[in-house]
Structure 1
Amino acid sequence: MYKLSLSTSGQYISAAIFDEKLVSSFIFKSDKGSTSLLLNQIEELFNKTNIKRKDLDGIYFDNGPGYYTGLRIGLSVSQGICGSLGIPIVPVNGLDALAFAAHTSHRKICSIVDIKRNEYAYCTYNPVPGGVAKETEPEVITVDNLEIKITGDSDKKLLVGNWDLLNNKKILNDSNAKLADPRFVTAENIFNVGERLFQSNNYPNFNEIQINYMREPDVTLPKENLVKMVNFYD
């Protein structure tokens, strides 16, 4: 059976199909989330791989933090497909996915995700054998305060995520901070964490899934409007 992995939390939208290993994937840049574009690309994945929706036994999706509209679209698409098939949805925190992708580092890992309004979601992790351990709780932070946290001590740090959007020379030129990939959350990052959660049965029930916005959205988009935009056909 196959897993579909989705990330729609930022400027880059991606999806991937896995059968233990990566089967096929796509990624494109989109400043505004698009349900129809995401669904069309997912359909192309199915056609390209000759895999049917009924062959899926789960979806792993990026449940934030990130851009409000993109996150809502990702959840609606996941719920639409999983609801019709009766398969589970596994929500994955994007900060965790970024950190796990860099877990082979020997430095403290600093995950950074743009959430707009010149604010960022931020969390630090320590690498441990086979993964990462969260050092701090996720927080919403401005660039000025992020500068203090990153440059305020001599700890060796690895910055992953949206550090390229910071436009702060003191952070980007700090001798103790190494700038690294991934620079944004991808469907492959989401799968690598989601698969562990799935195998350990560590995910919520279908109706209990929530998005991790970390702050109020700029504009509220009614859920019924998203549902109307999402149609699923076998």
Structure 2
Amino acid sequence: MSTLLALDASSSACSCAVWHKGEVTSRFALTPREHTRRLMPMIDEVLAEAGLQPDDLDALAYGRGPGSFTGLRIAAGVAQGLAFGLDRPLLGVSTLEALALAAHRRYHLRYVIPALDARMNEIYVAAYHCQDGSLNRVLDEAVMPPDRLRVPSDRQDADWCGVGSGWTLWEAMPTLVQAALSQRLPDMQPDAADMVRLAAKAFDAGEGQAAHEVIPVYLRDQVAWQKR
């Protein structure tokens, strides 16, 4: 069974997790603007708690986005540096997929719309049908104004749940979307503990890549914006 390290800095939270012998050892903290300072000590802590050395890792993973541009670059830089140094493959894990898995694992939710606040009055969003630990994406990842969001047309009668910071823009969502949701969990943040589970499955399926081939996914091409 593979041994992986995953890390994430895509939101105001900073997290790190190890997958070893089917068990997860993790750290999670809300640390806005302190990701650079907190990430490396977290890595040392989870490896020590799991009784591992860096050379024991089979692969590394990180939250590849969408999310905070600065946070994604921090996580990518650390993950790529470790992967290069250890000569190990690297995997990028969707932050939206990790949110969907978290909702499914913790609350047994089957239909999940993860959304993150993208600023500039936009959200990063996707939708998943979750069953028995597996995720089927039914709405591709996108960035859009919240009033453009639509529930997948072939699943409008499903019991949907919205998770992530994008749902703080609830008032701007279309009434049909509001009516489709049975609950919202806007405080949930992407977590490496979920990413490492997704990464382990992907790695076992042969999806690891060379470190230089794995890049962040911003969704929004424009990473800097100024008001006119």
Fold match (TM-score > 0.5)? yes
My pick for the range that moved more, 60-69 or 32-41, is: 32-41
Runs of 4+ with deviation above 4 angstroms: 152-155, 169-173
Shift of 1:116: 2.4
Q: Percent identity?
A: 24
Query: Which aligned pairs between 1:156-195 and structure 2 lie closer than 5 A?
Result: 156-166=159-169, 168=171, 174-177=178-181, 178-180=183-185, 183-195=188-200
How many Å separate the matches in 2 of 1:167 and 1:135?
21
1:214 and 2:215 correspond: no
Shift of residue 99 of structure 1?
2.1
Alignment of 1:197 with 2:202, yes or no, is: yes
Q: What is the DSSP-based 3-state SS (H/G/I as helix, E as strand, rest coil) of the residue aligned with 2:140? A: coil
Between the aligned partners of 1:36 and 1:94, the Cα distance in structure 2 is: 21
- CA distance in 1 between counterparts of 2:24 and 2:129 reads 31
Alpha-carbon distance in structure 2 between the residues aligned to 1:195 and 1:19: 9
SS in 2 for 1:77: helix
CA distance in structure 2 between the partners assigned to 1:196 and 1:48 by the alignment: 22
Determine the structure 2 residue equivalent to 1:116.
119
Instruction: Mark the runs of 5 or more structure 2 residues left unpaired by the alignment.
Output: none
Q: Which residue of 1 aligns with 2:10?
A: 9
Q: Which residue of 2 aligns with 1:142?
A: 145
1:105 to 98, 109, 113: 109
Deviations 1:124-176 (Å, cap 9, x if unpaired)? 22234541221122111123333xx25x9655312122245325287799453
> Residue type matched to 2:180 in 1?
N
Distance in 2 between residues matched to 1:175 and 1:144, nearest whole Å? 14
Structure 1 residue ranges without an equivalent (≥5): 220-234
Counterpart secondary structure, 2:119: coil
Change (3 A) 1:129 1:82: same
Deviations 1:67-93 (A, max 9, x none): 001101101111111111111111111
Of 40-49 and 182-191, more deviation after overlay is shown by 40-49
SS in 2 for 1:159: strand
* Structure 2 residue 46 is the aligned partner of structure 1 residue 59: no
Secondary structure (helix, strand or coil) at the match of 2:124 reads strand
Alignment of 1:10-159 (within 5 A): 10-32=11-33, 34-103=35-104, 104-106=108-110, 108-128=111-131, 130-146=133-149, 149=150, 155-159=158-162
RMSD: 2.8
Report if the CA contact (8 A) 2:91-2:199 is conserved. yes
Whichever residue aligns with residue 38 of structure 1, its letter is L
What displacement does 1:195 show? 1.1
Structure 1 pair 25–128 and aligned structure 2 pair: CA distance change class (3 A): closer
Q: Which amino acid aligns with 1:158?
A: C
- Tell me if structure 2 keeps the 8 A contact 1:10–1:114: no
Q: Cα 1:109–1:34, aligned 2, differ >3 Å: closer, same or farther? A: closer
TM superposition shift of 1:96: 1.7
Q: Aligned with 2:194: secondary structure?
A: helix
Q: Does the Cα contact within 8 Å between 1:33 and 1:73 map onto a contact in 2?
A: no
d(CA) in 2 for partners of 1:97, 1:78: 17
